[in-house]
Chains A and B, each alone.
Chain A
Amino acid sequence: MNDHDAPIHEKNSHEFPIHETLGDSLAQQGISRRAFLKFCTAMASLMALPPGTATAIAEALVKAKRPSVIWLSFQECTGCTESLTRSYSPTLENMIFNMISLDYHHTLQAASGYGAEKSREDAMKNFFGKYLLVVDGSIPMNNGGVYSTIAGRTNLDLLHEVAKGAAAIIAVGTCASFGGIPNAKPNPTGAVAVSDIIKDKPIINISGCPPIPAVITGVLAHYLTFGGLPELDDLGRPKSFYGETIHDRCYRRPFYDQGKFAKTFDDEGARNGWCLFELGCKGPVTHNACATTKWNGGTSFPIESGHGCLGCSEPHFWDAGSFYSALSMPASPLKYVAGAAVAGAAAGVAVSIGNRIKKGTAKSAHQKATIEDLEK
């Protein structure tokens, strides 16, 4: 089978992109079968699927209809989109734009104003119950959600409306997955995650600040191949990417085990590439694929650049104490020690005064017994 020779369905390619298969789309883009198979193998290996699955993925993807995707950006910084688009593996990561029909995305769409909103409404109408909803950013709940609006409507309102017809929801980034930075104390906008609001749709959380581009691609490939979401952990994240901690897969792990730690960012230990635990690395409690998948086309990841992991793919990472405090150190300064010392000493003195009074009373109440008393 030579899919890139397949004819393009011209009639459907504009109005109803869902009818166009991925194979057609790739052919249109001039992507060779070799490159495509390489991509499928990479995806299968990333998701820890058996080797034979790559062919299955390839066959399924070629025949897969490109689903309509509506991408809603709420309280976010666009870092998630930046991460995706500025990935240094365009042949791999840009496929996200070939695998799907991205019908609404603030940053990437050409249309604006009413035209933009219309394309969202059209997609919702035409593919009701079939489109994928991608959300990045948290949703403000305080004061009726006025802190973030799009086209005059609150994020909450928009989310409810678009979620209704979605086949599944992909929460991209820590804000959409867990509330993220807007949710950090004192959370002035009352920011919450998608899963706090939508309860009746399958939701997959791709956390990270930003998340690894290949993880988004992998989840989409999985969805197109198997028609469902991959196995998730207890926080709704795909296990194949978030199943292990950064620490477990860190190349500096041997130094941790040997007790060799960098004490400052420019000491001998840091120059020798020793473990960054004491400088606040949160790798031991952070589940993500950075240490294996890496960033910037496999160049490196934060720890490889000499900085500890911030734990950005975990809920409440912003409120877990200083980024530069080791995990075994207090997350906040001790508050009660001085007061407790004074109270403890005072209690001790008070009790000892009580003891002395008791002793004194016993002494004064003591009656001497005489021989006559005893002989009575």
Chain B
Amino acid sequence: MDADLFLTWVRSTGLNIAIGIFVLGTLWRLVEIYSLGRKRDLAVPRHRSGASGLHTMFRRSVPPPGMFKRSATSYVAGYVFHIGLFIIVFLFAQHIKLLQELTGLSWPGLPTQFIDATAVVTLATMLLVLAERINKPVKRFLSTFGDYAGWALTFLPVLTGYLASRHLLLPYTAMLALHILSVELLLAFLPFTKLIHVFTLWGSRWYNGNANGHKGVPV
């Protein structure tokens, strides 16, 4: 298969399959998770839960006292690469065009040079968090295959996208096709890995905050 056929495949059949698995898997996981329910709590609430759930949704984004000093890399690099991913995925004109085609919504993009710089920063911080995960004994102990797979599935689309746009390593056609393929792998595996947190993040924070409030530990 030559590069042009490969590119057409990932732009048609491959994309079809990947988005199919993504939609199927995401709905499956979300319906399953949110229909789990919880045992009826017979105890009287220790504290009126109030807005504890909502507070937690926000407060979990802020390091607890003392934690920032102990794990500054995690917080800074974590923020940087998440914001970087957001900028690359949602503010690159070519990506907006794709999202417009899929959803009908569109918004202005940022210049390529800015996206390029963001990609470099994002790649560097992702490498940093990986190095930290490997180097710090506790993090290494807590890491499973899923953590490394999730990292690779996120890292590859950024890397191939950058290489494609800068015309590095492979001819543009082949690299663009690899970039789209890597995004399709990400889409297909996202629902079945820890990356599902893009959907469950806020819901689970609210749940935990609410439950803690109910038990008398409001935040």
Contacts and interface: CB of A to CB of B under 8 A. Distances in A.
Interface in B98-127: 98, 101-102, 109-113
Contact of B12 (A277, A321, A326): A321
Interface string B58-93: 000000000000000000000000000000000001
Contact of B16 (A258, A317, A334, A347): A334
Interface stretch (A77-85, A100-108, A335-343): A335-343
A259 B8 contact: no
Given A259-B110, A341-B24, 18 more contacts: A258-B112, A285-B176, A314-B4, A320-B4, A321-B11, A326-B97, A329-B97, A331-B11, A331-B15, A332-B11, A332-B12, A334-B16, A335-B16, A336-B19, A340-B19, A343-B24, A344-B23, A355-B32
B27 interface: yes
B2 interface: yes
Interface of A: 235, 245, 247-248, 256-259, 261, 277-278, 284-285, 314-317, 319-321, 325-332, 334-337, 339-341, 343-345, 347-349, 351-352, 355
A351 B12 contact: no
Contact of A257 (B29, B102, B112): B112
B27 A336 contact: no
B28 interface: yes
Classify chain B: how many residues form its interface, as a range. Answer: 35 or more
B8 A319 contact: yes
Contacts of B97: 278, 326, 328-329
B2 A348 contact: no
A336 B113 CA distance: 36
Q: Interface on chain B toward A: helix, strand, loop, or mixed SS?
A: helix
Nearest to A314: B4
B2 A331 contact: no
A348 B30 contact: yes
A328 B98 contact: yes
Interface of B: 2, 4-5, 7-8, 11-13, 15-17, 19-32, 35-36, 93-95, 97-98, 101-102, 109-113, 167, 172-173, 176
Contacts of A258: 111-112
A360 to B, nearest CB: 12
A257 B111 contact: yes
A171 to B, nearest CB: 16
Contacts of B32: 348, 351-352, 355
A248 to B, nearest CB: 8
Contact of B93 (A261, A319, A347, A352): A261
A337 B4 contact: no
A320 B180 CA distance: 15
B5 A316 contact: yes
B36 A330 contact: no
A323 to B, nearest CB: 13
A337 B7 contact: no
Nearest to A352: B35
